[in-house]
Structure 1
C-alpha cells in the first residue's frame, strides 16, 4: 500500500521524522506531500517548497531511510475546502491511504472515499513546528535540538532563523 503523508513541514522536525519512520514500518511506500508550496517568507510559512524538500531529503539521508520506499513532491494548493483532495489527486502519484495527524485532512480524505489512518503524534509538546518557529523568533537556541542536525545546519546556512525573525516584523508590525 502507498500512504500519502501531507504536511507543510515548516520546518521538518524530529516529530515529522518519527512519523515517517512509523509510516515506513507500516506501508510499502510513503508519499510525502509538501503542501502550500506557493507559500514562503511569512511567519506561518517561512521556508520555500524547495527548502522544505531539501530539509526532508537531508533528514532522511541522515537517518538512513531507504529512498526506494519514499516519494516526495511539493504542491501548490490551499487547504480551503473538500476540493483540496481533488487537487492533490491531480499532482500526486497514486496512493491508497491518507495518513495525517490533522483532523481536517483526515476528515476530508475520509469523506472523499479514501482509506485513512492517523499517524501517532510523537512528543507534540516539543516537536511542533509552530513552537519551533516561536523559539526562532525569540532567538532561543533550544529549537536546534528539536530538528535533525541536517535541518539545523541547512537553516543556519540559509539564515532561516533570521528570516523568521525578519518576516514577523512585516507580518505583525
Structure 2
C-alpha cells in the first residue's frame, strides 16, 4: 500500500550497490511500497577493480533489477541512471547527482550516508527541493535488513559462503558466477583488478553471424579522428547518465541500422529482440583499459564491450543502410579471416577475441 502523499510520488535512491545486498533491495522494496516510482542511481559508474568498486556498474544494475524482479516488484515503476564519480570534488558530484534527467519529477531523495552526504549537506547549508528520506531512521518494518556491502565483500574474501548467502541480494547470488564476480572481487580486494582509465568512456558492440561453419563480424571503416580509415566495430562514447548497454545499442543502431529491443536487462546475457521477430542475447565481455595512446587513442579512457551472436548468414538480415552521418563507412559483415588479417582500431581486437573470434590476429593494425 502507498502512503497518503498527495499526487504522484517518485523516490530517488543513489548508491554504489557494490555489490547489491539484501539490505539495498529491502530498502528499495519499502520505497516501492511507499511511493509510486523509484529512480535508482548507480554511483561511481566507471570505477571498477578497486576495494570499494569491484564490479562494473552495468553488472551492479543487472543484479539490482534481477533482485527486484525475484522479489515480485514491478520493474515498470523503476528507472536506473548511471552516476559518475567525482573524486575530491563533492560539489561537482552533488550537482551531477541532483541533475539527472527527470529530476523535476522526483519528490523524495533517499540516503542514509551520514558521513559522506548528510553531514556535508548540513555543513554547506544545502536545502533539497524535495523531501529527504533517511532509511536508517525510518521504520522499515519487515523490510529492515542490517548488513552492508562491506560485510558482503569481506565474506567473499574470507570464503564464508553461508554469510555471503545471508547478506547477498538474490540477483547478486544468481549472477555472481556468470559475471566472474567472486574472482573479480578477490582481485579487487588485492588491488589487482582491471581499472578504468580516466578520459573518454566508450561502449563497443561485437556483432557476429555464424552459419554453415562460417563466421562474420560486423564492422566498417572509421571516417575521422584516431585510426581514421581503419576497420572498427560499432561503438562510441557513453552519454552522461547513460547505461553502457544502452550506449552500445544506440551506437549500433546509428552506425549499422540494426535496432535491438531490450526484452530483459536483469539477466546475463541480456535478452534482446531484433526486428520484432529474432530473439537473441547480449553478453558482457568486460572493460578494456590502457594508458598507451597507440591503443587508447588521443582522448584516453576505457571501453566496455558487449557481444551479440546471431545464428544466421549476413544476407538473412537484409542490406545495411549507408549511415552517412555515422562514424563508420562501408559497414558490412566481413568474414572472420579477413578481419583477422586487416586488424581493428583501438583495442577492439581484444574484445573480438574475447567473443571467440580472430585468435590468430594481432591486437591492432
TM tier relative to shorter chain: 0.7 to 0.9
Unaligned runs of 5+ in 1: none
Q: What does residue 82 of structure 1 align with?
A: 91
CA RMSD of aligned residues (A): 2.1
Q: What does residue 111 of structure 1 align with?
A: 126
Q: Report if the CA contact (8 A) 1:98-1:106 is conserved.
A: no
Question: Tell me, what secondary structure is at the counterpart of 1:137?
Answer: helix
Output aligned runs, 1:139-154, within 5 Å.
Answer: 139-141=159-161, 142-154=163-175
Q: What does residue 268 of structure 2 align with?
A: none
Question: Tell me, what secondary structure is at the counterpart of 2:172?
Answer: helix
Question: CA offsets per residue over residues 72-106 of structure 1, 9 Å max, x none?
Answer: 12111326413422112333422222111112334
- Do residues 48 (structure 1) and 63 (structure 2) align? no
Output aligned runs, 1:1-173, within 5 Å.
Answer: 1-78=9-86, 80-94=89-103, 95-103=106-114, 104-107=116-119, 108=121, 111-114=126-129, 115-120=131-136, 122-124=144-146, 127-141=147-161, 142-170=163-191
Q: Which runs of 4+ in 1 moved over 2 A?
A: 77-80, 82-85, 89-93, 104-110, 112-115, 120-124, 167-171
Larger radius of gyration: 2
Question: CA offsets per residue over residues 107-132 of structure 1, 9 Å max, x none?
Answer: 539814332111147332xx210011
Q: Report if the CA contact (8 A) 2:108-2:133 is conserved.
A: yes
Number of residue pairs the alignment of both structures matches: 169
TM-score, normalised to structure 1, is 0.87
TM-score, normalised to structure 2, is 0.43
